[in-house]
Amino acid sequence: MKIKGIVASAAHLPLAPAVVDAREVQPDDVRIDILYCGVCHSDLHLARNEWGVSQYPMLPGHEIVGRVRETGDRVSRFKAGDLVGVGVMVDSCGHCAACAGAEEQYCEAGFTPTYNGKDRYTGGTTWGGYAEGIVVDSKFVVSVPENLELSGVAPLLCAGVTVWSPLRHWQVKAGDKVGVVGLGGLGHMAVKLASALGAEVTLFTTSPRKGEDALRLGAKSVVVSTDAQQMAEAANKLDLILDCVAAPHDLDAYLSTLKTNGHLVLVGIPDGRHPSPDVTPMVFRRLSISGTSIGSIRETQEVLDFCGQHNITADIELINGNQIEDAFARMLKGDVKYRFVIDINKTDW
């Protein structure tokens, strides 16, 4: 099956329209006509082979919203016309402890990424969402609420569920005090979702100009992390912090803002090591530093349902696929509030 997409053919070349061979629909598959696909920073890393694992040609994109065109013979959950989404993974081993516990993102064999992975049916590369369509195992497809603005739903499939997963794992509830470090694609969703759960949210930022926007998104207070007095005033106040910054930085300052038994959860992946934290306050106040990956399929459905109930979407800037290189350039400068999303129907193939 031929599918048109925006493809990276080499690390040093710009992405451009091309045609790829998608697998034929299998008995458990869903074929989807894509409407929107979010642009994650990992798309840029992989397109440029900055992690050294890229396979070319590559068709990026793992924040996908579309409508079902066709289903395999064994699919009963979906039918043609259904509004659906696909996130970061499209397969896993299905039998390890993580998969059996509905935490496919921690599959012991490694989950199959939506793109730049190995398709178990064809042995070829998996293709992503910068495309007119995609074929996916129905177990890795989720339902999308019809009441939401669909372009703003796309980032929920990665950025949204990535911060939702720790909020649920640490059982954040009304009245909890939650900190969010960084107001980017992940951070702005963390502010929205934590506040919708009833938590009192504090945003930590190095940019005072972001304070007004954080309050608009639902934060109750803003702390400029480079201001020693503001950080001192925030000491011992928070139950949980989601650190969404993808650059090496000192964690000790944020540990000091946690209550006894508090958790600092790392969501962003830096391109180098964080400085080693001081273990003394961790020992004497039973603090923890944890990491968390993307969410499971179950959590992805949960966050979409929750967002449907609370009318939550990502703040996005809509582009077409032919503008992807400009979007990448602006992402490198931090010039986006807060996620680019490709309108597939406005892309010139």
Q: What is the pTM of this model?
A: 0.95
**Gap between the Cα atoms of 340 and 154, Å rounded:** 10
- Residue 268: the pLDDT is 86
**DSSP letters spanning 234-267:** TTT-EEEEEE---S----HHHHTTEEEEEEEEE-
**DSSP letters spanning 23-79:** PPPPTTEEEEEEEEEEE-HHHHHHHTTTTS---SSB-----EEEEEEEE-TT--S--
**Gap between the Cα atoms of 210 and 31, Å rounded:** 41
Q: Which residues share a beta bridge with 20?
A: 3
- Residue 271: the pLDDT is 77
The continuous run of DSSP H or E covering 212 comes out as helix 211-217
Are the beta carbons of 308 and 145 closer than 8 angstroms? Answer: yes
- Residue 65: the pLDDT is 98
Closest CA to 45 of 304, 322, 331: 331
- Residue 239: the pLDDT is 98
**Gap between the Cα atoms of 288 and 266, Å rounded:** 11
- Residue 270: the pLDDT is 82
| pLDDT by residue, tens only, the chain of 349 residues | 899 999 999 999 999 999 999 999 999 999 999 999 999 999 999 999 999 999 999 999 999 999 999 999 999 999 999 999 999 999 999 999 999 999 999 999 999 999 999 999 999 999 999 999 999 999 999 999 999 999 999 999 999 999 999 999 999 999 999 999 999 999 999 999 999 999 999 999 998 989 999 999 999 999 999 999 999 999 999 999 999 998 899 999 999 999 999 999 999 888 788 999 999 999 999 999 999 999 999 999 999 999 999 999 999 999 999 999 999 999 999 899 999 999 999 999 8
The continuous run of DSSP H or E covering 81 comes out as none
**Gap between the Cα atoms of 58 and 118, Å rounded:** 12
- Residue 299: the pLDDT is 98
